[in-house]
Amino acid sequence: QVQLVESGGDSVQAGGSLRLSCAASGYIYSWYCMAWFRQAPGKDREEVATLANDGVTSYADSVKGRFTISRDNAKNTLYLQMNTLKPEDTAMYYCAARPNYCSGDYRTQKYWGQGTQVTVSS
């Protein structure tokens, strides 16, 4: 069983940067797909970025070129580097994991963190 805990969320001005971390209390297997999702009030949870077990990354069009997903296996931690933040990035950000292959469907994820709030002001 893996438990995920996000951190790094904050309130920042537009154009600023944040790095979110997702630390696992258990071992995150290399064959898991790791992902970041976000959810704004009144909206469905949406995929932000995924990191497949073969190292391939995928990003939502809205964050492509600004966000970078990565992991440090030695530290058992997933990261989301967020640059050039925009007010529309404001949301609760969650890390997630599922076996074998990636899915943009939040309903198929096996493990979830509790979330960390990111607020971007204009």
Q: Across-strand partners of 23?
A: 5, 77
CA-CA distances (angstroms) from residue 105 to 15, 29, 87, 97?
Answer: 29, 20, 24, 12
* Predicted local confidence at residue 74, as pLDDT: 85
One digit per residue, the tens of pLDDT, for the chain of length 122 reads: 789 999 999 999 999 999 999 998 877 777 889 999 999 999 999 999 999 988 999 999 999 999 999 999 888 899 999 999 999 999 999 999 999 899 999 999 999 999 999 999 99
DSSP 100: S
* Predicted local confidence at residue 100, as pLDDT: 87
* Predicted local confidence at residue 58, as pLDDT: 97
* Predicted local confidence at residue 18, as pLDDT: 98
* Predicted local confidence at residue 71, as pLDDT: 93
Length of the chain: 122
- In which residue are the tokens 């989301």 written? 80
DSSP string of the chain? Answer: ---EEEE---EEETT--EEEEEEESS---TTEEEEEEEE-TTS--EEEEEE-TTS-EEE-TTTTTTEEEEEEGGGTEEEEEE-S--GGG-EEEEEEEEESS--S-GGG-SEE---EEEEEE-
Please give the distance of CA 19 from its chain centroid, rounded to a whole number: 10
